[in-house]
C-alpha cells in the first residue's frame, strides 16, 4: 500500500546476518520524492542499513511512514524495492522480462504488466532495448534495465545498493538525472548507497555520511562542505579538503602548528585541546604557492576543470592550485585550518567557521 507523508528513522540499530550491531542509532528522514545518497567506505554499514530497512536483517528502533509504525506493517504492504548491480539480473532473459519480473512474481495481470513496463521504460529511457538479451548489453544499458525494474512498480521506499559501479562519470550523471525525475513523478523515496564521493555530488536533496556503523552527518552537500561534523565528511571532498595531524595552541586566540608554522583555526570547544594533537582540515582554496611551509610536489591532478597540485607536507597531504613539476620542492602559504577534529572520535571540536573567539 502506498503511503503519503514522511519516512522517519530514529535510533535505528541493525545486525548483519545476526553478528551484533553493525549499524547503531541512525536517525534521518525522507519526504516523498526525496533522494538521499548514503556515502561511506566499504564496511561502514551502508548495506546493513539498507537490508534492515528492507526487512532482511534484525533491527530495533523507531521507524514510521506517514505516522504509521513501519515494523507493524506486513512486508508485502511496505512496498519496498531493494536492488543492486548486474548480478541481480537474469542474463539469459530479455531486458523486458527482467524489468517486469517483480510484477510477475506478484501475480499481476497482463494489462497491468504492460502499462507498468511502458511507464518504467519511459522513466529509465530503456524503450529501445526491451527486446535485447541482458547478456549482450553494455554497462550503461544494464543500468537502464536496473533502474526500469526499480520503477516498474510504485514503491514507498527504493533502496539502491551501488548499482552503477561500472559506469563512467558522465553515464552516472545521466542515470542519476533520470532516477531523480522518476522518483519525483512516482512520489517514492530513495536511498542510494555508494563509496564513491563523486557520485554524491550528483544528488540534489541530501547526503548521509556513514562511518563505522553510524550516520555521522546528514544534509545537503553544500551544508556538509560548509560545516562537516565528522572527519569522514571531509573525505567526501578529498580533493578539496584533507585532514593532517597538527598540534593546537591557545594564546588569546586558537591556532594549530602545520609544517612548523602557526596558522589560524576555529575556536575549539574546550581548553583541554590546548597543546594536544588534533586533526586539521585544510581546504585547497586556503593554500597558495609561495610562503614559509616547505612542500614537495607528489602529483599534478586534472579534474576536468583545471589542474592542481598534490603536495606532501610534514604530517600528510594537502592540495594547492598552481603550476609546478612532480618532484619539485616548493614553499606554500596555509592561510587557515578550516575545521578541527578530535583524532580519536573523528568528530568536530571547532566552531563552524574559522573565528578566533575566546573559549
Q: What is the mean pLDDT of residues 152-177?
A: 85
Distance CA 88, CA 190 (A): 18
In this predicted structure, which of 29-33, 157-161, 198-202 has the lowest mean pLDDT?
198-202
* For residue 358, pLDDT beyond 50: no
* For residue 27, pLDDT beyond 50: yes
Return left, alpha or beta for 144; rule: phi > 0 is left, psi -120 to 50 is alpha, else beta: alpha
CA 320 from chain center: how many Å?
Answer: 25
The predicted structure's pLDDT at residue 265:
93
* For residue 175, pLDDT beyond 90: no
* For residue 204, pLDDT beyond 90: no
In Å, the largest CA–CA distance within the chain is 76
The predicted structure's pLDDT at residue 285:
93
Q: What is the mean pLDDT of residues 144-148?
A: 92
Domain-by-domain residue ranges, the chain? 7-228, 239-341
* For residue 359, pLDDT beyond 70: no
The predicted structure's pLDDT at residue 355:
37
Q: What is the mean pLDDT of the chain?
A: 88
Contact 236, 217 (CB under 8 A): no
The predicted structure's pLDDT at residue 351:
67
* For residue 354, pLDDT beyond 50: no
Length of the chain in terms of residues written: 359
Choose among 89, 113, 111: nearest CA to 100.
113
Compute the chain's Rg from CA coordinates. 24
Distance CA 355, CA 323 (A): 31
The predicted structure's pLDDT at residue 245:
94
The predicted structure's pLDDT at residue 221:
85
In this predicted structure, which of 69-83, 263-277, 284-298 has the lowest mean pLDDT?
69-83
* For residue 84, pLDDT beyond 80: no
| Higher pLDDT among residues 180 and 254, named by residue | 254
In this predicted structure, which of 202-211, 217-226, 250-259, 347-356 has the lowest mean pLDDT?
347-356
The CATH homologous superfamily for domain 7-228 is P-loop containing nucleotide triphosphate hydrolases (3.40.50.300)
Classified as helix, coil or strand, 162 is coil
The predicted structure's pLDDT at residue 282:
94
The predicted structure's pLDDT at residue 86:
62
The predicted structure's pLDDT at residue 353:
46
* For residue 230, pLDDT beyond 70: yes
The predicted structure's pLDDT at residue 1:
64
Encode pLDDT of 116-141 as tens digits: 999 999 999 999 999 999 988 998 99
* For residue 108, pLDDT beyond 60: yes
DSSP letter at 230?
Answer: B
Amino acid at each position: 500500500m502506498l503511503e503519503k507523508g514522511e519516512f522517519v528513522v530514529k535510533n535505528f540499530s541493525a545486525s548483519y546476518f545476526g553478528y551484533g550491531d553493525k549499524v547503531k542509532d541512525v536517525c534521518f528522514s525522507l519526504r516523498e520524492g526525496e533522494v538521499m545518497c548514503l556515502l561511506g567506505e566499504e564496511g561502514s554499514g551502508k548495506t546493513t542499513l539498507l537490508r534492515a530497512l528492507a526487512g532482511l536483517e534484525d533491527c530495533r528502533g523507531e521507524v514510521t511512514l506517514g505516522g504509521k509504525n513501519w515494523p507493524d506493517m506486513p512486508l508485502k504492504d511496505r512496498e519496498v524495492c531493494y536492488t543492486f548491480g548486474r548480478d541481480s539480473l537474469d542474463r539469459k532473459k530479455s531486458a523486458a522480462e527482467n524489468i517486469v519480473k517483480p510484477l510477475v512474481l506478484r501475480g499481476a495481470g497482463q494489462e497491468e504488466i504492460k502499462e507498468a513496463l511502458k511507464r518504467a521504460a519511459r522513466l529509465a529511457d530503456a524503450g529501445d532495448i526491451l527486446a535485447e538479451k541482458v547478456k549482450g548489453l553494455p554497462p550503461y544499458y544494464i543500468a537502464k534495465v536496473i533502474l526500469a525494474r526499480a520503477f516498474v512498480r510504485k514503491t514507498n521506499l527504493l533502496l539502491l545498493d551501488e548499482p552503477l559501479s561500472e559506469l563512467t562519470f558522465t553515464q552516472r550523471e545521466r542515470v542519476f538525472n533520470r532516477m531523480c525525475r522518476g522518483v519525483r513523478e512516482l512520489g517514492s523515496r530513495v536511498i542510494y548507497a555508494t563509496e564513491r564521493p563523486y557520485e554524491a555530488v550528483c544528488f540534489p536533496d541530501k547526503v548521509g555520511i556513514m562511518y563505522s556503523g553510524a550516520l555521522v552527518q546528514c544534509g545537503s552537500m553544500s551544508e556538509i562542505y560548509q560545516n562537516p561534523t565528522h572527519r569522514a565528511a571531509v573525505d567526501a571532498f578529498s580533493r578539496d579538503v584533507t585532514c593532517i595531524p597538527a598540534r593546537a595552541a591557545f594564546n588569546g586566540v586558537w591556532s594549530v602548528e602545520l609544517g612548523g608554522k602557526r596558522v589560524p583555526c576555529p575556536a575549539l570547544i574546550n581548553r583541554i585541546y590546548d597543546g594536544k594533537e588534533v586533526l586539521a582540515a585544510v581546504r585547497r582554496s586556503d593554500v597558495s604557492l609561495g610562503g614559509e611551509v616547505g612542500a614537495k610536489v607528489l602529483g599534478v591532478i586534472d579534474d576536468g576543470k583545471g589542474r592542481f597540485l598534490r603536495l606532501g607536507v610534514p604530517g600528510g597531504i594537502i592540495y594547492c592550485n598552481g603550476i609546478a613539476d612532480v618532484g619539485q620542492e616548493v614553499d606554500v602559504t596555509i592561510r587557515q585550518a578550516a575545521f578541527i577534529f578530535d583524532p580519536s572520535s573523528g568528530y568536530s571540536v571547532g566552531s563552524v567557521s574559522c573565528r578566533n573567539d575566546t573559549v
